[in-house]
Amino acid sequence: MASVKRFSPLPGFGLAMGYTLVYLSLVVLIPLSAVATKTLAMGWDSFWDAASSPRVVASYQLSFGASLLAAAINVVFGLIFAWVLVRYRFPGKGLIDALVDLPFALPTAVAGIALATIYSENGSVGSLLEPWGIEIAYTPNGVLLALVFIGLPFVVRTVQPVLADLEKDVEEAAAGLGASRWQTFARIILPHIAPALLTGFAMAFARAVGEYGSVIFIAGNVPMVSEITPLLIITKLEQYDYAGATAVASVMLIISFVLLLLINGLQGWMHNRGRRT
Amino acid sequence: MSTSIALHVGSLERGETASTREPAWVKVVLISIALSFFGIFLLLPLGTVFAEALRKGWGAYLAALVNRDAWDAIRLTLITAAIAVPLNLVFGVAASWAIARFEFVGKRVLITLIDLPFSVSPVISGLIYVLLFGAQGWFGPWLQEHDIRIIFAVPGIVLATIFVTFPFVARELIPLMEAQGSEEEEAAVVLGASGWQVFWYATLPNIKWGLLYGVILCNARAMGEFGAVSVVSGHIRGQTNTMPLYVEILYNEYNYAAAFAVASLLALLAIITLALKTLVERQTRRQLQEVTEASGE
């Protein structure tokens, strides 16, 4: 009980743990604490002024609003993707399964310029939408579109394994007891995958809130209209307003940490449910 | 191996009744939705990158890649990845050895802390190093006195890249090593193996695919990172331009063909990454199957 570590015959705990803690502190913890120290040094009033000016609040509304909507869209389409990939066989399935992770693998700046080109008024899709009066590039719609692109893999990849593990006999039992296919889905399958859907939603949302590269090319970046919060931080930095940038960053960091804890909690819940069944 | 899976699926499908299966039209609609979404959201952007890059022909494409600025950007991207990936690889192995092989107080907290960089906006990942090493930062005055540049210079780019790619290897290895257990390593210790021998001969062969997987993802992010690097770089051509930053500069100069030409190299990297990832996933699945079959007998 005196030691924090339980006995193990394996060597190397001290070295591995020591290295882990030192490297973690140097690369992550100390640099991140700079935001907290800098914010605390500002004093409440100047922090509040910087973090709640109208332009900053407008950027929160866009960033959080578009991220919520994008994550919700991802839940719907992510579930369809996961379902189709787990349950059906069709030509091109292997390719889709491999390319679902493209938004993870494609550098964000590349995705950004590609999306901006496609959806601008001369672009391959933008020119089709233009006669209908639908504008995507250089409007808040563009922000939403980029965030849907970036968030899709999160929902697919969290739901896919849970759906694959779902035992067929539970569905057969429900059908045997007279449930329709829709009832089986709504009462048996959906509750089973709900934690995974929620986790995917939270992950997509967390990623979307902080996303920068894929958004800025298509957003138009008009202050008060289509300016996302991460871009505003950069703008403030470029004007040497370090305190203002730090204040906005600390607001975003706090929200990110809350989301991280929420995601961890959800994953713990999923894990425990998996064990019980 | 693949035939046995196909047979298994086949027998399941035969056993299905109409009520455990969706009507045919539902299936068709769902597959169509997935295929159209896939086409518009994933294939189209990827295709656009290559189409735009080659719009002015191969000559212009090559000219955009074979010049001083492009080459400097490629070189800096390679150098950055060559520093960041090995450092995070060593860290990932050390962290997963400590976490997956020993029981200690505060393990969950440590895992959460390791995941932190993933939940921080790339822009903030760059900002923290400006706050530390920038002119107005903690170490700013000292660095200026000694004429050391970190922000708006290569070291800042490397540091920001290390931060954003920090969790990749650890996060692949920890669950893998936890799932595998430590019987083999404990047996090696009982038989008199030294610590390094245990690692090289008992641990590494079991985790090599997971390790490779983590390295592939880590490398892709290191080469493609944009936001964090953008904050610390200062966009100095030939000096602090990585490939993604160079893409941005060309694009903002309305030099679209050149921007997409450089972007096409990064897109190629993404495709190679995904191909390797699929390959490694197949390998680990095979390994897992062999393990379960062996224990089943």
A11 in a structural domain: no
A2 in a structural domain: no
Q: Kindly determine whether residue A106 and residue B120, on different chains, have CB atoms separated by under 8 Å.
A: no
Same domain, B165 and B253: yes
A268 in a structural domain: yes
Taking only the tens place, the pLDDT of each residue in B218-270 is 999 999 999 999 999 876 666 789 999 999 999 999 999 999 999 999 999 99
The span from the CA of B139 to the CA of B158, in Å, is 17
pLDDT for B177 beyond 50: yes
Q: Kindly determine whether residue A256 and residue B120, on different chains, have CB atoms separated by under 8 Å.
A: yes
Establish if B48 touches chain A: CB-CB under 8 angstroms: yes
User: Residue A274 — very low, low, confident or very high, per pLDDT cuts 50/70/90?
Assistant: low
Task: Give the CATH number for residue B181.
Answer: 1.10.3720.10
Tell me the average pLDDT across B165-179.
92
Per the structure, the complete domain to which residue B102 belongs is given by 58-296
Tell me the average pLDDT across A89-98.
89
Tell me the average pLDDT across A77-105.
92
Interface predicted TM-score (ipTM) of this complex, two decimals: 0.88
User: Residue B117 — very low, low, confident or very high, per pLDDT cuts 50/70/90?
Assistant: very high
Q: Residue A94 CB: number of other CB atoms within 10 A? A: 10
pLDDT for B9 beyond 80: no
User: Residue B295 — very low, low, confident or very high, per pLDDT cuts 50/70/90?
Assistant: low
Same domain, B150 and B257: yes
A187 or B92, greater pLDDT: B92
Going B142 to B144 to B148 to B149, the CA torsion angle's sign is positive
Comparing C-alpha atoms, which of B128, B127, B95 is closest to residue B113? B95
Same domain, B125 and B263: yes
List the 248-277 stretch of B: residues with Cβ below 8 A of A. 248, 251, 256, 259-260, 263, 266-267, 269-271, 273-275, 277
A212 near B56, Cβ under 8 Å?
no
Sequence-ordered list of residues with C-beta below 8 angstroms from that of B64, at least 6 positions apart, any chain = B53, B70, B250, B257, B258, B261, B262
Report the share of chain B in percent with pLDDT over 70.
Answer: 90
Same domain, B48 and B137: no
A8 in a structural domain: no
**Predicted pLDDT of residue B164:** 96
Q: What is the dihedral of CA B17, B19, B21, B27, to 10 degrees?
A: 140
Token pair for A35: 């935001």
Establish if B120 touches chain A: CB-CB under 8 angstroms: yes
Q: What is the dihedral of CA A47, A144, A153, B49, to 10 degrees?
A: -110
Taking only the tens place, the pLDDT of each residue in A24-55 is 999 999 999 988 888 888 889 889 988 889 99
Same domain, B84 and B108: yes
User: Residue B275 — very low, low, confident or very high, per pLDDT cuts 50/70/90?
Assistant: very high
Last residue of a domain, one of B38, B53, B68: B53
A162 near A242, Cβ under 8 Å?
no
A1 in a structural domain: no
Number of domains chain B contains: 2
Same domain, B75 and B39: no
Same domain, B190 and B46: no
Give the CA distances from residue B146 to residues B78, B149, B232, in Å, rounded to whole numbers and listed in that order: 28, 9, 20
pLDDT for A112 beyond 70: yes
Same domain, B31 and B107: no
Task: Measure the CA angle with vertex B243, ends B240 and B246; round to 5°.
Answer: 70
Establish if A152 touches chain B: CB-CB under 8 angstroms: yes
Same domain, B9 and B86: no
Task: Give the CATH number for residue A130.
Answer: 1.10.3720.10
Q: Kindly determine whether residue A27 and residue B163, on different chains, have CB atoms separated by under 8 Å.
A: yes
- Which residues are B104's β-sheet partners? A5
Give the CA distances from residue B169 to residues B148, B149, B180, B283, in Å, rounded to whole numbers and listed in that order: 31, 29, 17, 17
The span from the CA of A117 to the CA of A110, in Å, is 11
Same domain, B25 and B66: no
The average confidence (pLDDT) of chain B is 87
CA B277 to chain centre: 10
Same domain, B64 and B46: no
Per the structure, the complete domain to which residue A118 belongs is given by 45-276
Number of domains chain A contains: 1
The span from the CA of B135 to the CA of A274, in Å, is 51
Taking only the tens place, the pLDDT of each residue in A132-185 is 888 888 889 999 999 999 999 999 999 999 998 887 788 888 888 888 888 888
The span from the CA of B76 to the CA of B238, in Å, is 9
User: Residue A275 — very low, low, confident or very high, per pLDDT cuts 50/70/90?
Assistant: low
Same domain, B167 and B281: yes
Residue from B37, B109, B124 to probe the interface with A (highest A Cβ count within 10 Å)? B124
Whole-structure pTM value? 0.89
Residue in B closest to A38 by C-alpha: B131
Task: Measure the CA angle with vertex B229, ends B227 and B231; round to 5°.
Answer: 75
Q: Which of A35-49, A193-207, B79-93 has the highest mean pLDDT?
A: B79-93
A111 in a structural domain: yes
A39 in a structural domain: no
